[in-house]
Chains A and B, each alone.
Chain A
């Protein structure tokens, strides 16, 4: 991996990499090669995640003590599928690993395979003409869908695909909108978190001084399944503070009532107060908001209680961890076409650096 990447060029590369939950090897390998020059060590992780450490000075001065360990976490996996069986006609029956909304699958191109190689397929459905008129308005049932990889008999299919293989959407990385302000792609949830943390690592490591505390960067697996490698990573790291970098569903689209919009594109990272998995540490949140205000970094509060993320596992780890989450608002999350704003990614990176800078200075302490 050349060292001349930017956060966005890295994001493009990460977005196009195949890494559904449970099969994150390719992204893990890419991230390892990207960050190797910018950390003191990469720790082994039985859960196949990537945990990197930048050692701090660990200095304690006077009566105030710098936090010992700060964990910065993002997840590498993306929503995906698994091949359940292969029919005699060489079609693949699929189990979904991205919730139950089959409407975003029908007619889509997908990649099917494993960490090393994939083949292209298409989510086929019965042609509309042949669907009974009563059923035309109905979403297609998962059991009635199949993936066509271009063969007509089982034996042919089995040369390229195995039962238990994984799948993801195929979706190009596209910059669009006014002045190219938006990005569309697959797996931006949460490859943008990965890209941001890689870039943060590089800047911290290349900075003039070592941080005041140990920084752990955790790139975790299986978040989308809810059984999070962040839990085991947090157990290993045993941090004092943790910040999760995520993507959160933005509802800022026409027709949505303001109080259901959750977060808006272009207004900076969304800071969570509460979601289904976590009630975030209020003083820590206030401290982050204050940091953003002082340094004039745009950010917003996530104005709805929904979803959940790795923080749900991290804050309950060991004897408890003070936790916050900073998310990029993302429209059409869990589909092939996540849409995020470039400016939000920049703002989140800037905020991450500011938080590290302030939290690691030895005379700073969160109430």
Chain B
């Protein structure tokens, strides 16, 4: 099972999906995911909607949302000497950018390195401040005139790192946020035999979450009109500087959000399911805002009872986000249990 999930995550990560570019990898995504579902519905918002039906008439609809997009950059200028300037898309951590390796998704996919000022050119104290993103240049190794034919303003730029294994069941790489959760949602929906499903399940791999817009998820949900929704996203794992009351433990299972903006009955029911099915789980308090698609999603249409189930990761928004496969498996197991549970929401 471990290796299957690793493979799925690795494949999902390899599909570039910088916010706003989610449709580019549609073919690759379809060949990967379609076999597990009855139907694929393209959504104008860029959200990918996969449906698996239970076969009963007028079955209630459960929406499983995992945002598909990843943080990245857009080319904002092509300078002399073949360098690129960029603007961030999503909450990019500028402290980790110097010397980072990137891919530039122009007419061809180019490799590049974000420049760092060498020590002998720095002023005293420079090394103590993180550079402004607007001051960084990507070195492509191309002459400007050639570069102009390959890259345009608005060309997306993403991190280079592929998925890799650490010791035990841990993996690292770019975009665990949120491909780890996409994998959990896909897996959770795929492992339940149709006759055991209590719902029609709509898995939305949604667009534009990282830019703080939630527009992809909300638009798709408006069309689908689900009876309940579970948003799955990553959350902080306990680590140096990250306290136990603002995060979950790596390996401790899915983290269920206790928040005033989500539906507490649905969340309770999911916690009960974990207990009943022996799925390890943990909780985290997000009083006023979950920081996920759930906040907007719950307000779509006449309102959607929504819960948030998260996978803890360390080093969020770096190019080596680290997750534990066991957590992802347990998250998928929780989704499978929820899909079987007709009493989930009444």
Residues of chain A at the chain B interface (Cβ within 8 Å):
20-23, 45-48, 80-85, 93, 95-97, 163-164, 166, 222, 225, 227-229, 231-233, 235-236
Contacts and interface: CB of A to CB of B under 8 A. Distances in A.
Contacts of A231: 299
Contacts of B213: none
Given A95-B288, A97-B288, A166 B298 contact: no
Nearest to B267: A164
Given A82-B260, A164-B258, A222-B261, A95 B287 contact: yes
Contacts of B205: none
A236 B106 CA distance: 45
Interface string B244-287: 11100000000000111111100000000000000000010101
B322 interface: no
A80 B260 CA distance: 10
12 contacts: A45-B302, A46-B303, A83-B285, A84-B285, A84-B287, A85-B245, A97-B260, A164-B285, A222-B260, A232-B302, A236-B302, A236-B303
B285 A225 contact: no
A45 B301 CA distance: 11
A228 B303 contact: no
A167 B111 CA distance: 53
- Nearest 6 A-B pairs (CB), nearest first? A22-B260, A164-B258, A232-B303, A85-B245, A95-B287, A47-B303
Given A22-B264, A85-B285, 10 more contacts: A22-B259, A22-B262, A45-B303, A82-B287, A95-B287, A164-B283, A222-B260, A225-B288, A227-B299, A232-B301
A233 B302 CA distance: 6
B304 interface: yes
Contacts of A222: 260-261
Interface in B292-325: 295, 298-305
Contacts of A236: 302-303
Nearest to A99: B288
Contacts of B303: 45-47, 229, 232-233, 235-236
A82 B260 CA distance: 8
A83 B283 CA distance: 12
Given A85-B245, A93-B245, A227-B295, A46 B302 contact: yes
Helix, strand, loop or mixed for chain A's interface?
Answer: mixed
Considering residues B244, B258, B260, B289, which has the most beta carbons from chain A within 10 angstroms of its beta carbon?
B260
Nearest to B271: A164
Nearest to B262: A22
B298 A235 contact: no
**Residue in B289, B298, B301, B302 whose Cβ sees the most chain A Cβ within 10 Å:** B302
A84 to B, nearest CB: 5
Interface of B: 244-246, 258-264, 283, 285, 287-289, 295, 298-305
A229 B260 CA distance: 12
A83 B245 CA distance: 10
A154 to B, nearest CB: 13
B256 to A, nearest CB: 9
A82 B257 CA distance: 12
A82 B285 contact: yes
B260 A21 contact: yes
Given A85-B245, A97-B287, A164-B285, A47 B260 contact: no
A227 B260 CA distance: 10
A231 B295 CA distance: 13
Nearest to A225: B288
Nearest to B222: A235
A82 B298 contact: no
B231 to A, nearest CB: 14
Contact of B264 (A23, A96, A232): A23
Contacts of B288: 95, 97, 225
B121 to A, nearest CB: 41
A23 B287 CA distance: 12
B287 A96 contact: yes
B260 A163 contact: no
Contact of B260 (A45, A225, A232): A225
B283 A232 contact: no
Contacts of A23: 260, 264
B285 A163 contact: yes
A225 B299 contact: no
A229 B301 CA distance: 11
B306 to A, nearest CB: 9
A82 B304 CA distance: 22
A84 B260 contact: no
Contacts of B264: 22-23, 164
Nearest to A237: B302
A236 B304 CA distance: 12
Contacts of A20: 260
Contacts of B245: 84-85, 93
Nearest to B258: A164
Contacts of B295: 227
A283 B288 CA distance: 36
Contacts of A227: 261, 295, 298-299
A233 B303 CA distance: 8
B291 to A, nearest CB: 13
Nearest to A77: B260
Nearest to B304: A46
A225 B299 CA distance: 13
Contacts of A97: 260, 287-288
A95 B284 CA distance: 12
Contacts of B261: 22, 222, 225, 227
Contacts of A96: 287
A47 B304 CA distance: 7
B344 to A, nearest CB: 14
Nearest to B345: A46
Contacts of B285: 82-85, 95, 163-164
Nearest to B295: A227
A47 B298 contact: yes
